[in-house]
Structure 1
Amino acid sequence: MSNFGGRWSMSRFERLTRTGQLDRAWVESELIPLAESLREKVDNGQPLRGRSLYLLFYEPSLLTRTSFERAMGLLGGTPYFTEDASQFFPVTTPDYIENIIANLAAMHMDMVVLRSSDQGVMEKAEEEAEAQSMPLINGGSLEDHPTQALTDLYTLKREIGAVDGARIAVVGRIDHRNVSALLRGLAMYEGVTVTQVPFSGQADPDVVSECEAQGVTFEMGTMDSLSEADVIYLNGPRTVAHAQLLKSRGAFNLRIDEEFMAKLKPGCVILDPMQRSGDFDILVSDSRLANYRQAENSLFVRMALLRTMLG
């Protein structure tokens, strides 16, 4: 049974739509150990054989969609997906998402992962999924991305050990769901300092206030302040055209080369949820670039989540 009004305290739940639902004790004592065990034994007996997962994506995705597909397949289940869902499930009526969830339930889908940045859609989908007794995961909404937050927290635990007391620099486009989700996840820990180095936008002020109330310290920084960071979290512009515009204005000037890496702490790691999409100039091979390990972690986190919710 889920605790929809607050944070989870049990290992079984039905809907994950907000990063704020997560609980540190559950993440560290249940989800991460399960992800680690699945990593050690990918041949896991396929506990979800016969179960189905529908990826209902109204926006394109590589890592989120592919990692969920692969996770479901490795667990023995069958994934289905529609990446440009508006071509097949029109958004011309106010209650379109309720109808889609009801139709997927009628076709005996066991779970839906929904990606949509339309305002209010995730909330309506959650209400209908609850009415249909269907598990639902937020695969990326306008202001949140809880499974990305779980991936990032898992990566931080594996890369730097203790998240408590960490100094994390967020660089690039920081008015984005990846950043909002990360900040909400970090708010579960103590003594975290977040340095904002924006090339575009500002972090959501409501999210900042929410996290400050839970003990996160925020500060504005420059490229020079990255030398003090334990973690650098890159988040690229929304499009290639946007990146080119920022570069033409001199506002997007991060060049990750040997000189840049030499200025960082020896143990500093660099994460990139966009997975080196070409937005950042990365001109060096260095073990502190953890983006591919981050991608692998997303697979095991989502396997653990599916195993928990459908197992």
Structure 2
Amino acid sequence: MGIFDAIFQGFVQGLTEFLPVSSSGHLSLVQYFTGNSGDSGFLFSILLHAGTLIAVCLVFWRTILELFLEFFYMIGDIFRGRFSFSTMPAARRMLLMLIVSTLPLGLMLLFKDAVARFSQDNDIVVEGICFLITGTLLLMSSSCRKGWKNAKNTGIKDALVVGAAQVAATMPGISRSGSTISSGMMMGFEQAYAVSYSFILGIPAVLGAIILEVGDAVEQGTSLPTGVVIAGLLSSALFGILAIKLVQWVVKGNKLKYFGYYTIALGVLTVCLGIFEMVSGHQIQQFFSSL
């Protein structure tokens, strides 16, 4: 893999990580047709996620700092016997709900190897089916009434539903941002809150993936050139910031349905291509890999 290819994959990752179209699904398609599937391709996709993590921290740094400080205030109130669930400030409730939403990810420790194989295999039919799921969720949420829930009144049930959506999004082709934003809006979240909640919720998920998967890759002896890693990180971070701003505008303008149409069309095309590839012996992949 060269630097130009790393920049291109960073571009794909940065845009699709936050646009509700599934970064993992798009990267899986790119890696399939460029011949970069496998352990090194999967490792690189994890590193690109680190770049988009930087983007989230830069855009939402005020909220993240507030939540970080609130964590220590909460610990202090617990030790002083002043903690109250019913009268807690909005930032504390949001922090606790984010923790609840993160808990279902613990289930993925049991299935992470099986999920990883979908990104590394020589087949794209599963990705196509997952794109169809993403599109359906986006169309469903775009027809919801305007929400009323925010950091002040989000409940445990709401947090668990969004957390379950995040677990499903570990499959390549199911958008993490699309599924969590959509599920939040269907649970009655305000549009802006659904976006910020979704993106901040992704921080522990990305960190966990990096810790788990990089460790596995190191054990397997997989490595990438430093220049390729830096190019991919910077590219994904830059385009990630642009994508976050775009999603904020899209959700505010109630335009999620257009991404739903896109992912459904992509899902149909991917399933058809995947079936053709299996029947033809991967002729399209071989053509692009030879370029």
Greater relative CO (CA pairs within 8 A, separation 6+): 2
Q: Normalising by the residue count of structure 1, what TM-score does the alignment of the two structures yield?
A: 0.26
Q: Which has the higher strand share?
A: 1
Q: Which has the higher helix share?
A: 2
